Amino acid sequence: MGKYDSDVKSLLKLIGGKENIQAVSHCMTRMRFVLVDPKKADEKAIEALPSVKGTFTQAGQYQVIIGNDVAVFYNEFTAYAGIEGVSKDAAKAAAATNQNAVQRIMGTLGEIFAPLIPALICGGLVLGFRNVIGEINFFNNGTQSLADISQFWAGTYDFLWLIGEAVFHLLPVGIVWSITKKMGTTQILGIILGLTLVSPQLLNGFSVSSTPASEIPVWDFGFAQVQMIGYQGQVIAAMMAGFVLVYLEKFFKKHCPEVISMIVVPFCSLVPAVIIAHTVVGPIGWRIGDAIGNVVYAGLTSDFRFVFAAIFGLLYAPLVMTGLHHMTNAIDSQLLSTPAESTILWPMIALSNIAQGSSVLAMSVLQKKNERAQQVNVPACISCYLGVTEPALFGVNLKYVFPLICGMVGSSLAAMISVGFGVEAFSIGVGGLPGILSIKPQYYGIFLAAMAVAVVVPFVLTFIVGRIRLSREDRLGDAGQIAADGEQKEKDGKADEAASAEAPAGQAAPESRGSELKELKAVLDGKVIPIEEAPDTVFAQKIMGDGVAIEPASNVVKAPADCDVTVVMAGTNHACGLTFPGGLELLIHIGVDTVEMGGDGFKAFVKDGDHVKAGQPLIEFDQEKIRAAGHPCTTMMIVTSEGTASNIQMHSGMEAKAGETTVISWD
SS3 589: strand
Catalytic position from the list 27, 381, 384, 406: 27
* Amino acid identity for residue 420 in this structure: G
Spatial contact of 634 and 535, defined as CB atoms under 8 Å apart: yes
User: Is 27 tagged catalytic?
Assistant: yes
| β-strands 635-641, 585-590 pairing | antiparallel
> What 8-state DSSP symbol labels residue 144?
B
**Whole-angstrom Cα distance, residue 570 to residue 542?**
24
Which sign does the torsion angle of CA 185, 186, 191, 196 carry?
negative
Of 364, 357, 359, 433, whose CA–CA distance to 389 is shortest? 357
Q: Which amino acid is at 85?
A: G
Which residues, listed in sequence order, are joined to residue 551 by a DSSP beta bridge?
A: 527
Q: Angle, nearest 10°, between helix axes 346-366 and 371-385? A: 160
Q: Give buried/exposed letters for 493-506 (b at 16+ CB in 10 A, else e).
A: beebbeebeeeeee
Q: How far apart, in whole angstroms, are the C-alpha atoms of residue 47 and residue 64?
A: 8
Q: 604 has which bridge partners?
A: 619
Please, where are the H alpha helices in 431-567? 444-469, 472-475, 486-501, 537-540
Q: ∠ CA 185-190-191 to the nearest 5 degrees?
A: 135
> Using only C-alpha atoms, what is the Rg of the chain?
29
- Which residue, 259, 203, 201, 192, is CA-closest to 231? 203
For residue 380, give the 3-state DSSP assignment.
helix
Gap between the Cα atoms of 602 and 571, Å rounded: 10
Structural contact between residues 353 and 326, judged by C-beta atoms closer than 8 angstroms: no
Rounded-to-integer distance, Cα 502 and Cα 490, Å: 18
Helix (H, G, I), strand (E, B) or coil at 331: helix
Q: Max Cα separation, the chain?
A: 103
The single-letter DSSP state of residue 78 is: H
Question: How far, in Å, CA of 561 to CA of 520, rounded?
Answer: 6
Catalytic residues: 27
